[in-house]
A and B are shown apart, each in its own frame.
Chain A
Amino acid sequence: MFLVLLRREILAHLITFRFAITVIVCLLLVVITTLIRIDDYEQRLASYNTARNVHREALLATRTYSDLRPKIDRSPNPLSIFNAGMDDRLGNTLRIYYTNIPLLWDAESHGSGNLFIDYFYRIDLVFIFQFVLSLLALLFAYDAIAGEREAGTLRLTMSHPISRSAILAAKYFGAMICLVLPLIISFAIALIWIVLSGSIFFSGDDFLRIAGILLTSIIYLSAIYLIGLLISAAVHRTATALMLSLFIWVVLILVYPSVSVFAVNQLTRERDNKINSSFGAIWQIQETVNKKESEYLKNDGVNGESDRFLRDNYLVHIGVSAPEIANHIEFKSYDWRDIAPESEKFMPHAIRYHQFLTPLRIRAAEKMGLVRMPVFKQTRFWRAKIARNLLRLSPAAMYDLATQAWAGTDLYGVTDFFEDARQYRRTLIDYLYDKDAFSSRQWFASDKGTINLDDLPRFVYQRASLQTNASRALPDLQFLLLLNILLFLATFSIFVTQEI
């Protein structure tokens, strides 16, 4: 009997006008959107490749160790076709050097994109599902119970020996099958376009991530369908049910996400006092280094050079001479290409000076990193977190966040790059220690030959592993599942206790 009902539900949905037209519109939009996103990805990839080559060449032209400051780039994420997230929003080029712990603040952006175009809201595949397929879900749901009650067919069905839970289950599964069908077709179309484009290669893990996105989409559609079903069970007239469902649809998907983030954006201010106090702490660290430097210079046995060396009649700075309130210790690179013979007697002195000062500055930079990192978390991240948590009141936003996490284009996916960058900086400093770079002449002078960079460790940016992505998507996925269960229970209890 259950199967008969299920079959009836599926057939009834499949032959409707609303199913046909919504699916056609949805598929058309999927085709267009995939094309645009693929094109966008290819442009960003080309820009990434150019930038990487330019930065590589610049690095290979480095002549001294102190001048070693590679620029590293973040590659675009191919899964941004599904959910663009923050992937093309945040900085994607970062300069690594020994006196700074890199943060999002320090990032620049490569790319030839026209930022004015950001004027338009970006559309990705997830937005199409979130918006169009959820409409279909609600259109299936609004008359599922109220409609049958009005038409009297519900009574007819109940006259058979079948439980109410079976009726409800048949309705739910029938509609879900009809919803998952266009969803899977859309994914297939998108994947076919991507494969045909030839520029994007997915690894096995990427397919699992896409499967994760698909699973999240199904759970999301089920939640939306259950919202409609609950309204349909609770309300007596189909017209009312329809009106309420559509209202909730517009509010949950279009209005609420913008309203909540907008409100947080406008009504909370960045905690300026935290930033200011961090400047104080950074200033102190810098002062300490300066003091140590001038003490060293006073007691080093060479008189009269204060913080400057005489070289070829030009005065050359060799230290943090004019301290400014900056976010990091002023970076100094040196490349003395020819040293006059009369300056040669100062060389051991210069080497000793750098040997003393450089580790000091590296340690100071690390201390500053310890000051800056929490400030960054407490000011910027704090607001973004509030906004994201407020967003979670809408299942559509939860769906968006969960799919971003699967695709690795969420905020954490992007900040992973900076974690990797910090790791790379440590590797680079270890490399300098291994080479004894601070106590070598090549730290600041290239007159006796440039440095050899053959064994310089390269930066490789790995997207987070599948497990990490899954664990980041899990909270939102759990919330969505919980919402499903709650909605189902509510619908069930209303439907069971109702008089027909």
Chain B
Amino acid sequence: MIFHIVKRELYDHLSSLRFALTTLLILILMIINAVAYLGEYNQQMKIYQKNVAATHNRLKRHSDTLYHLVLKGPGDLHKKPSSLAFCADGGKALLFTHVRGGTASRTRRWEGKDTSYQFIEIWRLVYPQASPDLIFISPPRSNTWSIMPDFIKIDWAFVTAIVLSFMGILFTFDAISGEQEHGTLRLMLANSVSRNAVICGKFLGAFFSIAIPFLIGTIVSLSIIYLSEAIQFKGSDWMRMAGIVCVALVYTSIFILLGLVVSTLTKQSSTSLVILLLIWTVWVVLTPNVLGSLSSRLHSRPSPKEFVTQYRNSRQDLQTRYFARIKEPPRREIPATIATALGAEYVNKDAELRDRLHADYLSTELRQIQTARYLTRISPAAVVQYAFEALAGTGLPRHLDFISQTRQYAKQFRQFLIDTDRTDPESPHAIGIPEGTSQKPVNLDAIPKFEDRHRFSEDFNAAIVDLLLLMLFLLVLFIGTFLSFLRREIE
């Protein structure tokens, strides 16, 4: 019996105006999406490869002595563009694409009785900051002011979050109340058919009539990308895309169920539509953005000015502490003199301090957006957006993964420097100052190179919370729909 209901619903929907309009809209959006992202990935990949080559050349230039490498560091570490940016763009224009492993090579002057010595600061990781006021201590973001009007990127996430949810409502607002108005609901229930079967049939009918155009759209979009050979997909990419499509369908089901609940609870289909539209407007379109801008105010963060003062003071403290203990300028002598060891320790501690303070500030900035993301998760539109980003390997989770990869690499690079220095018998083994570090050339191939990796397991972990939340929404609405329909009186 349920099969008959699904069939009837499907025929009804497929021949309706709303189905035609839906299919058309989704198709147009998906084609625009595919065409627009065709060139982008290649272009970004080219830039990425150029940047990686530049980093490599820089490394080659600085590997003439080990000390030079200690001073200059590994150079810019670049984020690899995601091949699935067309699924979820993830605000990539806002997130920086590289972390600098370098230095400004500022000097600190130590003054003895009648001698002096210049300590040169050594490399560390520098993250471009989100606050424009911090350009004095971190590289500025490129100020290519965009004078384009505001817009939302047309990716799969947009099509899903906005269009599919709207379809879900449009296909179900009159499912129960409309049939009640026409009296067909009574007729149907007069047959030997359970209410469960009716509601399941309605759900499945609406689900398929949205899933079909969406799947057609994704296939069209993918085949455009695939046939133009703009992006070569790997095996894991297909898995990611399958995950994304599943998430999209779960998300659509949420709105189908929402439509069914409201339609069951109201008498007239026009009332049910008004309620649904307002819920949709507030829950899907407005909530994520209003809460997003609201929550940045919840988390306070030291102002850039305070931070700069703190930064300068801590460094000054460190310098005073060490300079008081250094009695003579460092000399090249084996084993290292106390002054050499202390000097090297100072330079390293200073780099560590800069690194730590800077990373702390970055994390306060990121915490603001994390809070915003937690709060906005009361809207399934935001949840689905985050799940898409995580699965596509774009957006904030991916960015955090990139940053942690650069930190790991920095550790590895430092260890490499120490190990290489140990192999040189002529070095006093006090890395950080020219007097204490090996001056021998370094084998370029032995230097560890940074390669940003997209890790599926990491991305999937980031998506888990969102997937569970979507399931929760689905379950609550599912129970709600059943209970309300079972309890409903049919006149």
Which residues of A approach B to under 8 Å, CB–CB? 17-18, 21-22, 25, 29, 32-33, 36, 39-40, 50, 86, 89-91, 104-105, 107-123, 131-132, 135, 139, 143, 239-240, 242-244, 246-247, 250-251, 254-255, 257-259, 261-267, 380-381, 383-384, 387-388, 391, 397, 400-401, 411
Contacts and interface: CB of A to CB of B under 8 A. Distances in A.
B216 interface: no
B37 A266 contact: yes
Contacts of A29: 282, 286, 290
Contact of A107 (B25, B133, B145): B145
A384 B147 contact: yes
8 contacts: A25-B281, A29-B286, A29-B290, A115-B141, A116-B366, A117-B296, A131-B286, A251-B25
Contacts of A261: 148-151
Nearest to A132: B281
Contact of B274 (A21, A39, A257): A21
B186 to A, nearest CB: 20
Contacts, number: 187
Contacts of A135: 277-278, 281
Interface residues of B, number: 68
B180 to A, nearest CB: 15
Interface stretch (B54-62, B152-160, B197-205, B474-482): B152-160
B281 A243 contact: no
Nearest to A239: B174
Given A114-B369, A117-B369, A120-B289, A131 B281 contact: yes
B21 A247 contact: yes
Interface in B13-30: 17-18, 21, 25, 29
Contacts of A257: 149, 151
Given A21-B275, A22-B278, A40-B293, A246 B170 contact: yes
Interface in B22-71: 25, 29, 32, 35-37, 39-40
Contacts of B286: 29, 123, 131
A426 to B, nearest CB: 23
A401 B133 CA distance: 30
From A91, A120, A132, A240, residue with most partner B Cβ within 10 Å? A120
A388 B151 CA distance: 11
Nearest to A267: B36
Contact of A255 (B18, B25, B273, B290): B25
B170 A122 contact: no
Nearest to A25: B278
Contact of A243 (B21, B25, B146): B21
Interface string B279-316: 00110011011101110110001011100000000000
Contacts of A255: 25, 29, 162-163
B345 interface: no
A119 B91 contact: yes
The B interface is mostly helix, strand or loop, or mixed, namely helix
B143 A107 contact: yes
B95 interface: yes
B149 A108 contact: no
Interface string B255-281: 000000000000000110111011001
Contact of B170 (A131, A243, A411): A243
B273 A242 contact: yes
Contacts of B152: 121, 258, 262
Contact of B293 (A22, A123, A139, A411): A123
Interface string B85-106: 0000001001100000000000
A263 B289 contact: no
Contact of A39 (B143, B146, B149, B297): B297
Task: Name the 5 nearest CB pairs between A and B, nearest first.
Answer: A120-B292, A266-B36, A261-B151, A109-B132, A18-B274
Interface of B: 17-18, 21, 25, 29, 32, 35-37, 39-40, 91, 94-95, 130-133, 135, 140-141, 143, 145-154, 158, 162-163, 166, 170, 174, 270-271, 273-275, 277-278, 281-282, 285-286, 288-290, 292-294, 296-297, 301, 303-305, 365-366, 368-369, 372, 376, 396
Contacts of B289: 120-123
B307 to A, nearest CB: 10
Given A111-B133, A251-B25, A258 B143 contact: no
Contacts of B25: 247, 251, 255
A108 B132 contact: yes
Nearest to A410: B149
A348 B247 CA distance: 78
Given A116-B95, A117-B368, A411 B17 contact: no
B484 to A, nearest CB: 19
Contacts of B18: 243, 247
Given A25-B282, A108-B132, A381 B365 contact: no
Contacts of A139: 274, 277
Which residue, B148, B152, B366, has most C-beta atoms of chain A within 10 A?
Answer: B148
B191 to A, nearest CB: 25
Given A242-B273, A255-B25, A411-B147, A114 B131 contact: yes
A254 B396 CA distance: 24
B365 A33 contact: no
Contact of B133 (A90, A112, A267): A112
A122 B150 contact: yes
B17 A263 contact: no
B152 to A, nearest CB: 4
Contact of B150 (A21, A111, A121, A266): A121
Nearest to B288: A120
Contacts of A117: 292-293, 296, 368-369, 372
A250 B18 CA distance: 13
Contacts of B368: 114, 116-117
B252 to A, nearest CB: 15
B293 A114 contact: no
A265 B153 CA distance: 10
A388 to B, nearest CB: 6
Contacts of A120: 288-289, 292-293, 372, 376
B94 A111 contact: no
Contact of A110 (B133, B140, B271, B294): B133
A267 B148 contact: no
Contacts of B271: 17-18
A40 to B, nearest CB: 7
Contacts of A251: 25
Contacts of A116: 94-95, 130, 365-366, 368-369
B145 A114 contact: no
Contacts of A381: 147
B369 A258 contact: no
A14 to B, nearest CB: 15
Nearest to A119: B91
A255 B277 CA distance: 16
B296 A114 contact: yes
Contacts of B282: 25, 29
Contacts of B281: 25, 131-132, 135
B151 to A, nearest CB: 4
Contacts of A244: 17, 21
B32 A262 contact: yes
Given A89-B145, A104-B147, A243-B18, 14 more contacts: A17-B271, A36-B290, A86-B147, A105-B145, A108-B140, A109-B143, A116-B130, A116-B366, A120-B292, A250-B163, A255-B25, A257-B151, A262-B32, A267-B36
The CB with the most chain B CB atoms within 10 A, among A143, A264, A381, is that of: A264
A22 B174 CA distance: 20
Given A121-B152, A257-B151, A250 B166 contact: yes
Contact of B17 (A112, A119, A122, A243): A243
Contacts of A110: 132-133
Q: Which of B39, B149, B151, B274 has the most CB of A within 10 A?
A: B149
Given A107-B143, A108-B143, A117-B293, A259 B29 contact: yes
